[in-house]
Structure 1
Amino acid sequence: MNRQVILVAAASVLVGMVVLGLKTLAYQVTGSVALFSDALESIINVAASAAALVALCVSARPADENHPFGHTKAEYFSAVVEGVLVIVAAITILREAWLGFLDPQMPTDPWQGMLLNGAATVLNTLWCWVLLRIGRRHRSPALIADGKHLLADVITSIGVLAGFVLVPLTGWAQLDSIIAALVAVNVLWMGWGLMRESVGGLMDEAAPPDMVERMRKLVAAHGEGALEAHDFRTRHAGRLIFLEFHLVVPGQMSVAEAHAICDRIEAAFHEDMEEASVTIHVEPEHEALRQQREKAAGGIMVL
């Protein structure tokens, strides 16, 4: 695990606390339910960032006897936790929005509250860009999930500020609660997306089609001497991508020659896709043809 990823995750907790402080102050100044909903989501951000940091520290552990494929899937647990926390936050916001709708109150000092909330939104926007950029560079589901959550927070904050402007201008106090309810719906939707993506990783979902195509091209470019490659199977676990495939070689080729081709392919993957784990099953040509005939005959061996 790149040390930069751990440092960014730790910094994310600190940034989240600063943003939480600004949004909480904005809520205390105004008493707005909408700004309360925005501050509540920031509490979830801090908790989720802390969970991501713990998961990244666990996933950085090297492979051992009990975990021969490493600990990278630990990152998905933080994303699942984050999704659950988002859903809890959305339900809490909906409750406060309903109570505020039943007993509407005009916010006090709304312009100062908007200024504080706006400063927090700018900080979140900058940090969201950092998280997504570094998370994608290092293929870290925890950082990407944290970045996407912050992106949702930025979008909702912009929506809150845009709608909140109308509250003092129109004098419609219930608009504050309506904005909070809309925030809750958006937060709920983003939480579902985070959980769906994380469960896909835990269930050994295949790598994206563009990445699989990139792998095929690498095998074709560096598999000189082999006849074909087939039965590509992929899965991803955190930042790691696992690839298995069958490499067909001439029947008379020696083990040493076939091994040299595999070494060349593996070296190409290490150079181009450092965090890919490749397993190659070598097949002589006649065995591959026999299997193809069996498949064509519906599993019945053709002699």
Structure 2
Amino acid sequence: MADNTQSIHQEKEKTALLSVVSNTFLVILKLIVGLALGSVSIISEAIHSGMDLLASVVAYFSVKKSAQAPDDDHSFGHGKYESFSGLFEAILIFVAAALIIYEAVRKIFEPSSEPLDPTLMLAGMAVMGISALANAYVSSRLMKIAKKAESIALESDAWHLRTDVYTSVGVLIGLILIRLTGITILDSIVAICVALVIIKAAYDLTQKSYKDLIDCSLTDDEVQRITKIICEHNSDYVSYHGLRTRRAGPEIFVEFHLVVDKFVSVEQSHDLTDHLEDDLKLEFPRAYITIHVEPNTGENAQKPSLCENIPK
């Protein structure tokens, strides 16, 4: 298990570093072409990729930090560094969107009298196509590892790049329309549409990372999966109650009270909790599980069964 965890950490770091390298290349490329062409939509994409680059750097270091073992100051581990990273990245997207909208609106009210250079427009289209393909590849890699490792930092980075795919395609379409129609204001309109798309992504990321930081319970689906595993052993105990869950980055925390017959030995109770923990960790490998065993007093066994509505 330790070797597998170490392998996942290494895979997370390599994928996060790939995102940093890819975004660095795209920022430089978009800035060169955007400034040469004077296209606000391409420059807005460069700003977007710049925010993506900063977010990728933050994600990379948060992934490295979250992999560190618990210490005296962080006895529950460093998982929340990833949750903080997700929130920080969402704020960066909001900032990028605000900058894009400001620049686009300014261009609408202060339009340039010079037409866009046709040759540079072709270069701009090529850059947007390269950006869309590169980000599609990197974001799919990030999302795959994020799901595998339950990493909100990598998932946030993946969503950053996925929105960049959509916005790059949008800018590419805008440039094609400008070339066909000669209506340069389309450049600013496309830029504003880009900003609106990434604001939605920022809102979703903010919600997800914020829930982790304030210790919200796991999703209903995850809680039901935990409950089902506990209920598979209901013939070995009297009842259970007080189930509580929370998430900290890739780690989850599960605790509950297990009521056993008062004549059951300490050793038998210990074996039962070990068995439950092993089964729960098969489903949730990054789980920290705390089970409080208490003897049946009659009163604590009168609680309504939590296993009645669990599908077999």
- Specify if TM > 0.5: yes
User: What letter is aligned with 1:283?
Assistant: E
Cα deviation code 1:8-41 (max 9, x no counterpart): 1112100111222332233134221111111110
Query: Which residue is equivalent to 1:129?
Result: 140
- Asked if 1:107 corresponds to 2:123, the answer is no
User: What letter is aligned with 2:95?
Assistant: V
Query: Which residue is equivalent to 2:75?
Result: 68
**What is the CA distance between 1:272 and its match in structure 2?**
3.1
CA distance in structure 2 between the aligned counterparts of 1:96 and 1:270, rounded to whole angstroms: 50
Query: Which residue is equivalent to 1:8?
Result: 15
Query: Which residue is equivalent to 1:58?
Result: 65
Cα deviation code 1:123-153 (max 9, x no counterpart): 1001110000101100011000000111111
CA distance in structure 2 between the aligned counterparts of 1:287 and 1:3, rounded to whole angstroms: 50
User: What letter is aligned with 1:108?
Assistant: D
Query: Which residue is equivalent to 2:152?
Result: 141
Match for 2:272 among 253, 261, 266?
261
What is the TM-score of this pair, normalised by structure 2? Answer: 0.88
Match for 1:243 among 254, 270, 275?
254
Aligned pairs for 1:80-95 within 5 A:
80-95=87-102
CA distance in structure 2 between the aligned counterparts of 1:35 and 1:264, rounded to whole angstroms: 57
Equivalent residues of 1:31, 1:107 under 8 A apart: yes
Cα deviation code 1:222-251 (max 9, x no counterpart): 455212222211100011111111112112
- Asked if 1:35 corresponds to 2:42, the answer is yes
* Aligned structure 1 segments of 4 or more residues deviating by more than 4 angstroms: 290-293
Equivalent residues of 2:259, 2:300 under 8 A apart: no
Query: Which residue is equivalent to 1:151?
Result: 162
Equivalent residues of 2:48, 2:96 under 8 A apart: yes
- Asked if 1:210 corresponds to 2:221, the answer is yes
Q: What is the SS of the residue equivalent to 1:89? A: helix
Query: Which residue is equivalent to 2:3?
Result: none
Equivalent residues of 1:26, 1:117 under 8 A apart: no
Equivalent residues of 2:70, 2:76 under 8 A apart: yes
**Pairwise CA RMSD:** 1.8
What is the TM-score of this pair, normalised by structure 1? Answer: 0.91
**What is the CA distance between 1:289 and its match in structure 2?**
3.2
- Which shifted more, 223-232 or 14-23? 223-232
Q: What is the SS of the residue equivalent to 2:280? A: helix
Equivalent residues of 1:24, 1:36 under 8 A apart: yes
User: What letter is aligned with 2:164?
Assistant: D
Q: What is the SS of the residue equivalent to 1:289? A: coil
Q: What is the SS of the residue equivalent to 1:67? A: coil
Equivalent residues of 2:237, 2:261 under 8 A apart: yes
Q: What is the SS of the residue equivalent to 1:165? A: helix
User: What letter is aligned with 2:300?
Assistant: L
Q: Unpaired runs of 5+ in structure 1?
A: 294-303
Aligned pairs for 1:268-279 within 5 A:
268-279=279-290
- Which shifted more, 243-252 or 219-228? 219-228
Equivalent residues of 1:19, 1:42 under 8 A apart: yes
Q: Unpaired runs of 5+ in structure 2?
A: 1-5, 305-312
Change (3 A) 1:197 1:124: same
Query: Which residue is equivalent to 1:296?
Result: none
CA distance in structure 2 between the aligned counterparts of 1:243 and 1:272, rounded to whole angstroms: 12
